[in-house]
Amino acid sequence: MSDVAARLLETQGSVARSARDVGREPSSVTLVAVSKTMPEAVMLPALEAGQRVFGENYVQEAKAKWPVLRERFPDVELHMIGPLQSNKAREAVELFDVIKSLDRESLAKELAREIARSGRAPRLFVQVNTGDEPQKGGVSPAEIDAFLDTCRVHHGLVIEGLMCIPPAQDQPSPHFALLAKIAARNGLSGLSMGMSADYEAAIQLGATHVRVGSAIFGARSTPSPLAGEGGA
């Protein structure tokens, strides 16, 4: 068994244990393997071991990797977890099954346009900037209820859930609890929260998706220019 396959198996076991520890079914938590910056050779052992849900940060990188891989693994579910430019909305709708970084009205408008044009409707999550960090994408908690209403009413978008990336210097649990509270009052079932260092805490607080990269694939040899965005 390769190192990647072994780490994947260990992570899957840890996710399942964390769910059972709080009385949840392990199947209620989806493990998103974050493969940003990872070459095909590193990803293949995870695919061959049965992992089918992957997260990417960049449209161009995903376009370069996944069409060929999907010929071999057609049941892959691909999540966009990094910042998404409005001018990449068409490509994102065509490529991704889930888009988790919706965070402004201009992007909502473009996604609605492309969904209507293509007839393809990726599942949508809104990113919440729970720490109100100026350098990070996401809607402020103070504005999230109004933004969700705009997405639903004015743009006709179906929002499945919320995503957050807590500030690196903070304890993550209060941010996870805040995201769960926002989701509950807005009738949203999806919670994408928790990365390699804190996914157990996220599961305790209701995460339905955890985004794990380095714990599966190892350290990235080429740091992302937006390190910490999306998953780690």
Give me the pLDDT at residue 222, please.
53
Looking at residue 19, what is its pLDDT? Answer: 98
pLDDT at 1: 85
Which pLDDT belongs to residue 225?
41
Predicted confidence band at 224 (pLDDT cuts at 50, 70, 90)?
A: very low
Under a CB-based contact definition with an 8 Å cutoff, are residues 81 and 99 in contact? Answer: no
In a domain? residue 42: yes
Q: Is residue 160 part of a domain?
A: yes
The mean pLDDT value for 85-110 works out to 98
Q: Catalogue the E-assigned strands of 87-203.
A: 98-102, 123-128, 159-164, 190-192
Residue 74 is assigned to a structural domain of this protein: yes
pLDDT digits (tens, 9 = 90+) for 144-158: 999 999 999 999 999
Q: Which residue has the tokens 């995903």?
A: 62
Q: What is the mean pLDDT of residues 57-86?
A: 97
* pLDDT band for position 227 (cuts 50, 70, 90): very low
What tens digit of pLDDT does each residue of 162-221 get?
999 999 999 999 999 999 999 999 999 999 999 999 999 999 999 999 999 999 999 876
Evaluate whether residue 85 is within a structural domain. Answer: yes
CA distance 149 to 228: 28
CB atoms within 10 A of CB 48: 13
Residue 27 lies in a domain: yes
Residue 110 has a pLDDT of 98
**Domain assignment of residue 152, given as a range:** 3-217
Q: Is residue 224 part of a domain?
A: no
Record the tokens describing residue 213, joined without a space.
């990269």
Q: How many domains does the chain have?
A: 1
State pLDDT tens for residues 37-48. 999 999 999 999
Tell me the residue ranges of DSSP E strands in the chain.
Answer: 30-34, 53-56, 77-80, 98-102, 123-128, 159-164, 190-192, 209-212
CATH number for the domain including 65? 3.20.20.10
Q: Is residue 225 part of a domain?
A: no
The answer to the question of residue 229 being in a domain is no
Percent of the chain with pLDDT over 70: 95
Mean pLDDT of 60-87: 97
pLDDT at residue 228 greater than cutoff 80: no
Q: What is the pTM of this model?
A: 0.94
pLDDT at 230 exceeding the cut of 80: no
pLDDT of res. 140: 98
Please give the average per-residue pLDDT across 15-31, as a whole number.
Answer: 98
Q: What pLDDT does 229 receive?
A: 57
Whether 67 and 61 have beta carbons less than 8 Å apart is answered as no
Q: Higher pLDDT residue, 219 or 92?
A: 92
Residue showing tokens 């743009």? 155
